[in-house]
């Protein structure tokens, strides 16, 4: 029997006997591992047990197995890794700086199932034949998504999108090259002025990070309610309530969908409402909330800023046959003020590609837009458009002409 297996078994037995919860008290597990390894070293001197080759490596492996997520823990601890996914036990991938690579890590099918069970333990969510998909948050804020057979062909599919907080404010995005200083100053002012902002982009384009940075620009006096499928937003505000959806129980009851969260948020005296991402009929409830004069922000999957506006004109139709395009289009035009589109370059670098203004007019059934910032020759530059509600900037003591330039 390998030395690391002996140490791991002894640590697990002591954890069980002493009633230690590895999730809530990892420090106790760490001390236990050190004590067991020290005792094992003494016992191995008489030759009856295999000698530990590297006590530090064994300590890390045992701790990861007992209190962490086993062979995947080193990727979770690696700050350069942005995402981890398991296509099948022998194919574990990671992404660094937007570039995917196949790792040398090989798991067994049982290890994958055990790791998923451990990941879902803190969230209270489950995955089984009746509920073959699950979204959950890990204790560090990372997001895990799991799909099991027979939805997948053979193996469990696991995606872990790490919460890598490289940027928490708009100035951080400027330092990373995602935004220009002028665009960052404008977005900061747009948030302070209470404009409604739609953040658009593809998967891994940095939408949530950008939304978090916009949240950091919300005035401290405001009360913010956030609504998400799973917790991802980190609002640095003293008066903020975060809401997330809930899966149905084994009996099929108790499900809380995003639409319900948006409706409940309106009863919580918000100064501003933020929806992590709109995908379907909850977009109607968000538009109705914004149409009442409540400022808000959200993200949406789209390939451009204009496509994001067009998509937002379509998604509310999923809410029911009584919702018409003739109602939705002018509502979108009057509710959305600014659209920010982000994308990932071929080298994995995330950039804001364009910032669009929605003046509030509809022509021929199409929402009119105006370019505020566009990408030319690879750089985000000022265009000739102006945002709506310029009086709100003035009321907040912001000089829009100085921010955007012009006479």
- 346 and 201 inside one domain: yes
CATH of the domain at 296: 3.40.50.300
Same domain, 64 and 81: no
Asked whether residue 203 falls in the same domain as residue 254, the answer is yes
- Do 282 and 355 lie in one domain? The reply is yes
Secondary structure class of 367 (helix, strand, coil):
strand
Is 192 in the same domain as 130?
A: no
Q: Is 292 helix (H, G, I), strand (E, B) or coil?
A: coil
* Tens of pLDDT, residue by residue, the chain (407 residues): 477 787 778 888 888 888 888 777 788 888 888 888 888 777 777 666 777 777 778 888 888 887 788 889 989 988 889 899 999 999 999 998 778 899 999 999 999 999 998 888 877 788 888 889 988 888 887 889 999 998 999 999 999 988 766 788 999 999 999 999 999 999 999 999 999 999 999 988 889 999 999 999 999 999 999 999 988 898 888 899 999 998 887 777 888 999 999 999 999 999 999 999 999 999 999 999 998 889 999 999 999 999 999 999 999 999 888 888 899 999 999 999 999 999 988 777 889 999 999 999 999 889 999 999 999 988 999 999 999 999 999 999 999 999 998 64
Do 91 and 23 lie in one domain? The reply is no
Give the single-character DSSP code of 207.
H
Q: Which residues contact 62 (CB under 8 A, 6 or more apart)?
A: 4, 7, 8, 11, 33, 36, 37
383 and 357 Cβ atoms separated by less than 8 Å: no
Q: From CA 330, how far away is CA 222, in angstroms rounded?
A: 28
Q: Which of 68, 88, 107 is the last residue of a domain?
A: 68
Number of domains in the chain: 3
Q: Do residues 98 and 59 both lie within one domain?
A: no
Give the containing element (helix H, strand E) for 231.
Answer: none
Range(s) of the domain holding residue 352 = 170-404
**Same domain assignment for residues 140 and 281:** no
* 294 plus 347 within the same structural domain: yes
State whether 56 and 181 are in the same domain: no
**116 and 136 part of one domain:** yes
Whole-structure pTM over 0.75, yes or no? yes
Do both 209 and 243 map to the same domain? yes
Helix (H) or strand (E) holding 196: none
Q: Pick from 9, 35, 68: which residue ends a domain?
A: 68
Structural domain ending residue among the three candidates 28, 45, 68: 68
Crossing angle of helices 55-67/3-18, nearest 10°?
40
């Amino acid at each position: 029997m390998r030395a690391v297996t002996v140490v791991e078994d002894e640590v697990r037995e002591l954890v069980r006997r002493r009633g230690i919860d590895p999730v809530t008290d990892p420090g106790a597990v760490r001390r236990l591992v050190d004590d067991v390894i020290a005792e094992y070293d003494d016992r191995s001197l008489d030759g009856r047990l295999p000698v530990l080759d590297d006590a530090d490596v064994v300590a890390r492996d045992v701790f990861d197995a007992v209190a962490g997520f086993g062979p995947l823990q080193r990727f979770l601890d690696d700050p350069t890794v942005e995402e981890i996914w398991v296509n099948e036990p022998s194919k574990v991938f990671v992404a660094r700086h937007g570039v995917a690579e196949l790792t040398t890590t090989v798991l067994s099918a049982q290890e994958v199932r055990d790791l998923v069970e451990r990941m879902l333990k803190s969230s209270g969510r489950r995955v089984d034949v009746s509920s073959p998909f699950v979204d959950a948050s890990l204790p560090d804020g990372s997001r895990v998504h799991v799909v099991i057979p027979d939805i997948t062909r053979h193996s469990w599919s696991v995606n872990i999108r790490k919460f890598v907080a490289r940027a928490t404010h708009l100035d951080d995005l400027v330092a990373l090259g995602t935004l220009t200083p002028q665009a960052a100053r404008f977005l900061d002012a747009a948030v302070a002025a209470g404009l409604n902002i739609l953040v658009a982009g593809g998967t891994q384009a940095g939408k949530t990070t950008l939304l978090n940075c916009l949240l950091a620009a919300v005035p401290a006096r405001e009360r913010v309610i956030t609504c998400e499928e799973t917790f991802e937003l980190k609002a640095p505000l003293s008066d903020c309530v975060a809401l997330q959806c809930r899966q149905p129980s084994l009996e099929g009851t108790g499900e809380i969908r995003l639409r319900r969260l948006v409706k409940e948020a309106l009863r919580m005296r918000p100064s501003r409402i933020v929806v992590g991402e709109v995908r379907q009929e909850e977009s109607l409830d968000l538009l109705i909330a914004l149409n009442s004069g409540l400022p808000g922000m959200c993200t949406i999957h789209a390939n451009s800023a204009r496509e994001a506006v067009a998509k937002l004109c379509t998604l509310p139709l999923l809410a029911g046959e009584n919702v018409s395009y003739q109602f939705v289009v002018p509502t979108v035009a009057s509710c959305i003020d600014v659209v920010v589109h982000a994308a990932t370059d071929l080298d994995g670098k995330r950039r804001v590609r364009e910032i669009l203004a929605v003046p509030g007019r509809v022509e021929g059934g199409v929402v009119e837009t105006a370019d505020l910032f566009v990408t030319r020759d690879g750089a985000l530059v000022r265009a000739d458009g102006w945002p709506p509600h310029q009086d709100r900037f003035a009321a907040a003591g912001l000089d829009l002409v100085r921010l955007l330039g012009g006479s």
